[in-house]
Amino acid sequence: MGGMEDWIPFEDGDYTVVEAFLLSPDGSAAAMERAVLSISTGKQGKRHMSGGGLIQNSRLVELLDISDELDLLLDLGFEYKYLIKKPDLKGGKVFSPDVKSMLQFTPNGPWRQVPTDEFEKILSKLRLI
């Protein structure tokens, strides 16, 4: 019986993310910069995925004021576009308004590949803060 790691279609390594957005349920969003996805295989062949990117702290706080259940939209280029529902988020402790800090994310469950047209539709409805 397959586990959560079976949904990771990439080899071990680090992957540059073309675009990454944190989304709140009301359509508000904040862009992450220089996002990277890391995939590794641990003991007994179990696959893991995590990632991170820079985000302006004040925008993250604003999103968290709207909802503490944020989703993550990732574009890895070409048809590789994904939606991660409610990932675990870990951020820096600096909250100066103009400061950007590293935000790490880890999926709580399988990500869903999003067709390019659906991805573009989601993007068109976002209100970037």
Q: pLDDT, tens digit, for every residue of 27-38?
A: 999 999 999 999
For 1-129, strand residue ranges (E) read 13-16, 19-23, 28-41, 47-56, 71-75, 81-84, 88-91, 100-106, 112-113, 127-128
How many CA atoms are closer than 13 Å to the CA of 110, on its beta-carbon side? 11
Whether residue 5 is predicted with pLDDT greater than 60 in this model: the reply is no
Nearest to 49 by CA among 58, 40, 59, 60: 40
Whether residue 65 is predicted with pLDDT greater than 50 in this model: the reply is yes
The full set of domain ranges for the chain reads: 8-121
Domain 8-121: top CATH class: mainly beta
Question: Over the stretch 117-129, which tens digit does the pLDDT of each residue have?
Answer: 999 999 999 999 9
pLDDT of residue 91: 81
